[in-house]
Structures are given as structure tokens and as C-alpha cells.
Amino acid sequence: MSDVREPDAEASVIGADALAGVPDEFQRLWTPHRMAYIQAGREPHHAECPFCSAPEKSDEDGLIVARGRTAYVLLNLFPYNSGHLLVCPYRHISTYDQATAEEVAEIGALTQVGMRVLRDTSRCDGFNLGMNQGAVAGAGVDGHLHQHIVPRWSSDANFFPIIAKTKALPQLLGDVRRTLAGAWPR
């Protein structure tokens, strides 16, 4: 005798569309903003420098959080964590030693303010700061100097980055930009 049951003629089939929103054991990570990066391939910025074109856009379209005299702050379009900021000089230079004293001072000052704003708005526990200068050093956009400010939380360690090379980002970029720009001191 078999344990396989014959289908019940009276049972109805439920279409998958009727199950939308029904909880199951899977957690889903929705990161639609990363499609631009995926579709662009390895070298997404051949035609124009994104850090030269961002200041020409509205703050919302350029993801700009704050503007200074010689440098500005914007969200990373491909963030490591929610709130991942970049501090860039307006001038198109590739390495830190090419920056003027005024640019260096403003990049430092904007980095400090960015850290304070992130700490106040996101309650982060620490930061990674850094500049990758040159493609060999890991710079995704190696022609334009930029300082990374990556907020970190003691609770943000999980298996995704290690096993699946995936980061879970709980906020949309536009929402993060509005929050940070609103908290930036004037």
C-alpha cells in the first residue's frame, strides 16, 4: 500500500497570487537601488564622473546631504551600510596629496559633522573612515577623491556579508538623505 494520496476532487487549488504577503520562513532583502550598479557592469562610470555631475543636480537627485565651499557630502549610491556618506571636493582630483589646504580642512570638517549627524540620527556605535586612492587600492571611482564615512552598529554583524556577500539595508536612499540633510547643522 502506498502513502501517496490521490488528489481530492473536491479540493480547490490556490493560485500563488493569492498568497502574496502570507508570512513564511524566508526573510527577503529588497535592494532595488542596486540594479543600476548590477546592470552597469564592472565600470559604471566611463562617460562622466559621478562626483563632478552630482553637484550640478538638485540635492535630492544627487543624493547630496550638505554643500560646503570646496567640498560636499552625499550618500553612497552603493552603500555598505545605511547612511554610508562620501565627502568629495568639487574639484576633480584623484589623490589626497593633490588637495589644497582649504579642501583638506573642509573635507575633515565635513567628515566630523557627518559623524555627529549619523551618531545623532542613527545611533551608530562607531565608524569606518577611509579613502581608496587608485583602482589598485579598491577605488570604484578612482579619478575623483572621496572620503568614506560608514556608520557601524554593534548589532550589524551577521552572516550575509561573509557567506553571501550581501548587506541588508533597511532604509531607502531618499529617506536616509532627507533625514541626514534635515539634521545637518546650518
Question: Is residue 168 helix, strand or coil?
Answer: coil
Q: Which amino acid is at 179?
A: T
Q: Is 46 designated active site?
A: no
Catalytic residue among 33, 45, 144, 146: 146
Full DSSP string of 17-82: GGGTT---S------GGGHHHHHH-S-TTSSS-HHHHGGGS-HHHHTEEEE-SSEEEEE-SS-SST
Q: Can you give the C-alpha Rg of the chain in angstroms?
A: 22
| Ranges assigned E (strand) in 131-168 | 147-152
**Bridge partners of residue 66, in order along the sequence:** 73
| C-alpha to C-alpha distances, 185 to 64, 66, 112, 181, nearest whole angstrom | 14, 9, 12, 9
| C-alpha to C-alpha distances, 88 to 4, 68, 83, 149, 166, nearest whole angstrom | 65, 10, 16, 11, 26
Instruction: Write out the catalytic residue numbers.
Output: 146
